Amino acid sequence: MNITVLYGTESGNSELIAEDLAAKLNEDHTAEVFDLADFDPNNMTADKFYILVCSTHGEGELPNTALPFWDALNAAAPNLDGVRYAVFGLGDTFYEETYSHGSEILDKRFTELGAKRVGEYGRHDASSWDLGTDLALEWLPGVVEAFEAETVS
Amino acid sequence: MSTTPSVAIIGSGPSGCYLAQGLRKHWPEADITIFDQLASPFGLVRYGVAADHQSTKAVTRQFDRLFERDNVRFAGNIRVGEDVTLEQLQQAYSVVAFATGLTQDRKLGIEGESLPGVFGAGVITRRLNSHPVVEEGPTTFGDRVVVIGNGNVAMDIVRFLIKRPDDYEGSDINDALVESYNAARAKRIDVVGRSVVADAKCDALMVKELGKIEGVRFSTAADCTVPEGADRATSGRIEAVRELNELEPAGNVDTEVVFHFGYAPEKIIGETSVTGVDFTPTTSAGEALHIEAVSVIAAIGFELQADASQMFGNDVPQLTATPETGRFGQGLYRTGWFKRGPRGTIPENRADAKEVTDEIIADVEGGVITTLPSQTGFAALPESVQEKAVSFVDWQRLDAHEQATANAGRIRTKISDHAQMVAIAKNN
Ligand SMILES: Cc1cc2nc3c(=O)[nH]c(=O)nc-3n(C[C@H](O)[C@H](O)[C@H](O)COP(=O)(O)OP(=O)(O)OC[C@H]3O[C@@H](n4cnc5c(N)ncnc54)[C@H](O)[C@@H]3O)c2cc1C
Ligand SMILES: Cc1cc2nc3c(=O)[nH]c(=O)nc-3n(C[C@H](O)[C@H](O)[C@H](O)COP(=O)(O)O)c2cc1C
């Protein structure tokens, strides 16, 4: 299975989680990691599985490194029919009203463009002091399974 | 000659840690040491970020792994310029990067500033965080306090002045200070900033957080209409101030907070100690303002520590902020607040450290920096320095101790005596 792990970050937590997910995935599959800042949305294809790890900054906004991708995504509005992805969102419940909204912005747009989210929506809350990687690695098998189930049917 | 450098980073705050991250990624084998004058790592994350903002401090979980897994060495309890000289570092390492921050309170530069009763916000935020080498400071501020500044640090100060001991659940606040302050609380707090609301430096969320604290009435005479074309941050801040102004206070009201926007301090009044502050308006619409006060807390920013030149020995370089480059000498770099000036949040130091990482990589690979066989890093330092250093494992011992001895309702109780910090860390 070919997997692309994409991350959007501002203080670096999402990057570490993305790298840890890719390292785990590379045990059985082929996974690559990209900062969203270095990834062109026009390159998203239906034969790959995308895992998005993305935090929230400002007031419920995307983190800095996701912004160029967001602009490119909106400018090109590529047809993402058949593209499958999973989301692990980072946030902080201290920000009650905008908790974890950052990744949701991309999730919503991906769906609008025809892509399909599979598996559970993963979350990490900075107020918990949980290690993001621990939660993400627990979450990972579920979404991989969900993706495999999708592609078989 | 090797193309893998050895790297000494001075300062274990966010910028030092982000720089180590970037360099480690590029050079998995390089000897990278982060020095800090304190036995504890993480700089202002531990000693600036407010004790009741623990989730902001959680970024240290990310930095932990530099030391735990990525083989970056922590050498705490080593003050560059005192325990080791820059020259000694340069003999042992081919790259030396300063991430030493800017921690001294900026002066107001007005008459009356040296009167008893005038304090810098940095002194107070360090004390609230139990910093071990803190200047003399007060535990009470009298019943009328003027806070000068309207950035996020000023809001941290206001929050402290209006909270009660019960409001610090889950924090690692300095309880002794909070208790003694609470026994003689300020009754009225005037918060005075140079900027009008639209240009104030604080985030809306910091303002909103104040509104959740009981027993306080907030007011302002400022115009809180959102100007046409205001960006989200600006309109959010103005709305937040307006909401505070309209808020029906909860609980037993015994504290008043009044915000004044658009006034610059002109003179601090008092014979033997502070009795008030004179302000001049920064807008044509405003009028002169006099506010009575027993104490003044200036939260107007930070500057280079007076003793920082010690780090450079005899050869003190010109050090004005240079956002465009981190290099300031052969094999010498800087990052974070020490490079850009005392502005910006933790994440901004990551972007900055990335740029400096790229500069260092380009210089090493371009042959500007050569690493001598003798520059093996930590092992090449004088033995006395190696022995004095507090390692990351040592720090974890101190960390565990602080958590295990936490007061009820707190997540840790910090040791505020540096010799004791070192002794616990080193298990002496
Ligand atoms: C009161 C306050 C509250 C803040 N709150 C927030 C917040 O809530 N959220 C946020 O994102 N940002 C906050 N910030 C900003 C944030 O703290 C800074 O962006 C960040 O810490 C700057 O990182 P730095 O690594 O450049 O410096 P620092 O964090 O200051 O680290 C410098 C380190 O260098 C060490 N050092 C200095 N001199 C020597 C020497 N001679 N030898 C050895 N070691 C030395 C110091 O001990 C220190 O550990 C706050 C800042 C302040 C002052
Ligand atoms: C200035 C700032 C604003 C933030 N705003 C939000 C927010 O609105 N909602 C939220 O859920 N988390 C918010 N967060 C929390 C981050 O999403 C959280 O710390 C996350 O772990 C950061 O991940 P990153 O390092 O990959 O950027 C904010 C953090 C900062 C520093």
Q: Give pLDDT tens digits for A52-64.
A: 999 999 989 999 9
Q: Is there a domain that residue B41 lies in?
A: yes
Whether the pLDDT of residue B137 is over 80: the answer is: no
Q: Which of B301, B318, B344 lies at the terminal end of a domain, its last residue?
A: B301
Q: What is the CATH number of the domain that holds B293?
A: 3.50.50.60
The pLDDT assigned to B323 comes to: 79
Cβ of A92 and B55 within 8 Å?
Answer: yes
As a whole number, mean pLDDT of residues A79-98 equals 96
Nearest-Cα residue of chain A relative to residue B60: A129
Whether B335 and B383 map to the same domain: the answer is yes
Total structural domains in chain B? 2
Domain count, chain A: 1
* pLDDT of amino acid B321: 73
| Residue A70 domain boundaries | 2-152
pLDDT reported for residue A152:
73
B158, part of any domain: yes
pLDDT score recorded for residue B2: 61
Q: What is the CA radius of gyration of chain A?
A: 14
pLDDT band at B159 (very low <50, low <70, confident <90, very high): very high
pLDDT at residue B43 greater than cutoff 70? yes
User: What is the per-residue pLDDT for B230?
Assistant: 92
Of B21, B37, B13, B25, whose CA–CA distance to B99 is shortest?
Answer: B13
Inter-residue contact A122 to A136 (CB < 8 Å): yes
- Select from A7, A10, A11 the residue whose CB has the most chain B CBs within 10 Å, as the one to mutate to test that interface: A11
At which of B301, B334, B359 does a domain end?
Answer: B301
pLDDT of A115 > 80? The answer is: yes
Does B366 map to a domain?
A: yes
Residues A116, A32: Cα–Cα separation, whole Å: 20
In whole angstroms, give the CA distance from residue A42 to residue A80.
9
Do residues B141 and B285 both lie within one domain?
yes
H/E element holding B235? helix B232-246
Provide the pLDDT confidence category of residue B115 given band limits of 50, 70 and 90: very high
Read off the tokens for B378. 């930590």
pLDDT at residue number A153: 58
CATH code: domain of residue A109: 3.40.50.360
Q: Is residue B1 part of a domain?
A: no
- Of B77, B41, B88, the residue nearest B377 (C-alpha): B88
Does pLDDT of B1 surpass 60?
Answer: no
Regarding whether B64 and B195 lie in a shared domain, the answer is no
Q: Percentages helix, strand, coil for chain A, rounded to the nearest 5?
A: 45, 25, 30
Residues touching ligand 2 (Cβ under 6 Å) are: A 9-14, 55-60, 63, 90-92, 95, 98-101, 126; B 345, 347
Tokens of B97: 């990067």
Give per-residue pLDDT as tens, B178-229.
999 999 999 999 999 999 999 999 999 999 999 999 999 999 999 999 999 9
Residue in B18, B54, B236 nearest the CB of A12:
B18
Give residue B266's identity as a one-letter amino acid code: E
> Is residue B98 domain-shared with residue B142, that is, in the same domain?
no
Which residues form the domain of B236?
106-301
B98 and B111 co-located in one domain: no
| Residue A127: band (very low, low, confident or very high) from pLDDT cuts 50, 70, 90 | very high
DSSP B283: S
Is B97 inside any structural domain?
yes
Q: Point out the domain boundary residue: B301, B324, B355.
A: B301
- Reply yes or no on whether the pLDDT at A65 is more than 60: yes
Q: How confident is the model at residue A1 (pLDDT cuts 50, 70, 90)?
A: confident
Query: What's the CATH code of the domain at B45?
Result: 3.40.50.720
B134 pLDDT more than 90: no
DSSP state of A143: H
Question: How much of chain B is helix, strand and coil, in % rounded to 5?
Answer: 35, 20, 45
B297-312 per-position pLDDT tens digit:
999 999 998 888 899 8
Cβ distance of B58 and A64 shorter than 8 Å: no
Q: Tens of pLDDT along B19-39?
A: 999 999 999 999 999 999 999
Distance from CA of B356 to the nearest CA of A (A): 16
Whether residue B294 is found in the same domain as residue B166: yes
CB contact under 8 A, A10 and B18: no
pLDDT band at B107 (very low <50, low <70, confident <90, very high): very high
Instruction: Report if residue B337 sits inside a domain.
Output: yes
> Do B282 and B315 lie in a common domain?
no
**Ligand that lies nearest to the alpha carbon of residue A133, given by its number in the listed order:** 2
- Identify the closest residue of chain B to A94 by CA–CA distance: B55
pLDDT of residue B313: 80
**Residue B253 and residue B328 share a domain:** no
